[in-house]
Amino acid sequence: MPIDPISVSLLSLATAVPGTILPQSEAKALVRRLFGARTSRFDTLEPVFDNAGIVKRHIVRPPAWYEQDHGWRERNQVYLEAAEALYEECAAKALAAAGIAPDEVDALVTVSTTGIATPSLEARVAGRMGFRSDAERVPIFGLGCAGGVGGLAIAARLAAGVPGKTILFVTVETCSISIRLDKPSKANIVATALFGDGAAACVLRSGVDPRGGIAKVGAGGEMLWPETLGIMGWDVEDPGLGVIFDRSIPPFLEQNMAEAVGAIAARSGVAPEEIDRFVCHPGGAKVIVALEQSLGVGQGALDHEREVLRDYGNMSAPTVL
C-alpha cells in the first residue's frame, strides 16, 4: 500500500532589505565616476542602466563606500555584519507572522553565496534569536540565483520527513559588495546596473496545522546543465568575488526552460497546462522576457516579477521570494 506524502504548509514569508536606497539614476552616475574615465566600454554599456527595468534598489553601504578600494577581508566583514542583521530582521518577521516562537524551530536552512561565514549565519545569530541548541543546521553555499527556490524545496523536504516538524528557511545575499574598482569588465559594469541586496525568510511545518498557512508546498525538482558552468557565477579573486555574467543567459533560458519545467512537472504528476501561474526569479529585464517566451505565457504575464525588479533590482536568491 503506498504511503501518503506528508503535507507541508508554508506558514509565512517575510522579506528584509538594507536601509540605504540607491536610485538607478544615482547608480549610473556612480558607475560613470568609477569606470567612465578608465574604459571606453562604459559608453557602450551605459544604456544597460536605462533598459534594466530598475528604478531603485537597496544596498548595504552608503554609495561613497563603493568608491573606495576594499580587500577580501573588509568585504567579507561587511557581508557578515549586513547578512546577520538582515537574517535577524526577516527571520523575526516570518516567525511572528507564523505565530511560531524561535525555540519551536526544529531545523534552520540557510542559503547564501555572496560571502563566507564559518560558523554559518544561523549559528552566529542563534543566541540572539533564541533558537534551541539542538536545532538542526543546514547551511547551503553555491546555489546563486537558484537558491531562493532550491532552498525552499530543500526546507520542504526536511519538513516532510517528520510530522509536525518546523523549518525556518532564510536566504540572504549582499550582491553589491562584489562591485570592484580594479576590474572595469563588461560583466562587472552590467552587475552594477542590476545588483541589490536583501533577504527573505519562510516558516514551514509538516502535517496538518490548524493555521493552514498561506500555501501548501508540493514537489520540487532541479535540472543541471554541467556544460554551462561559465554562464553565471563567481570567480574567486583578489580583492574579492568577480561576477560571471554571460550574454548567453537570456537565449539559454528561452531555449531550455520550457523543457526543464515540463520534465520536473511530469515527475511531479502535474501537466504544464495545469499550472495557473509561474513565479520566476526576475534576474533582469531580458531574463523575464526570455522566461515568458520559453514558458509560452505571453508578454507581460510576469508582471509581479517586473515590479520586484523595478523596486529592488536583482538580489540573487531572495528576489523570487
Residues tagged active-site: 145
Whole-angstrom CA distances from 120 to 89, 125, 140, 213, 290 are 17, 9, 9, 28, 35
Contacts of residue 74, defined as CB under 8 A and 6 or more positions apart, other chains included, come to none
- Joined together, the cell numbers standing for residue 62 give 552608503
Residue pair 200/13 in contact by the 8 Å Cβ criterion: yes
319 φ, ψ (degrees, to nearest 5): -60, -40
Instruction: Name the residue among 249, 289, 297 with its Cα closest to residue 272.
Output: 297
Instruction: Encode the chain (321 residues) as per-residue pLDDT tens digits.
Output: 334 468 999 999 999 999 999 999 999 999 888 887 777 778 888 899 999 999 999 999 999 999 999 999 999 999 999 999 999 999 999 999 999 999 999 999 999 999 999 999 999 999 999 999 999 999 999 999 999 999 999 999 999 999 999 999 999 999 999 988 787 888 888 999 999 999 999 999 998 777 778 999 988 899 999 999 999 999 989 899 999 988 899 999 999 999 999 999 999 899 888 999 999 999 999 999 999 999 999 999 999 999 999 999 999 999 999
pLDDT for position 3: 42
Pairing of strands 107-111, 136-140: parallel
Q: pTM for the complete prediction? A: 0.96
Specify which residues 216 forms β-bridges with.
9
Contacts of residue 96, defined as CB under 8 A and 6 or more positions apart, other chains included, come to none
Residue pair 218/268 in contact by the 8 Å Cβ criterion: yes
Whole-angstrom CA distances from 137 to 8, 9, 94, 97, 223 are 19, 20, 18, 22, 25
136-140 sheet: strands from edge to edge: 136-140, 107-111, 166-174, 197-206, 8-16, 215-216
Q: What is the DSSP string of 202-231?
A: EEEEES--TT--SEE---------GGGTTT
Contacts of residue 72, defined as CB under 8 A and 6 or more positions apart, other chains included, come to 238, 239, 240
Count the Cβ atoms, other than its own, within 10 Å of residue 50: 12
Q: What whole-number distance in Å separates Cα of residue 113 and Cα of residue 72?
A: 15
Instruction: Name the residue among 69, 284, 196 with its Cα closest to residue 305.
Output: 284
Residue pair 205/159 in contact by the 8 Å Cβ criterion: yes
- Joined together, the cell numbers standing for residue 201 give 525568510
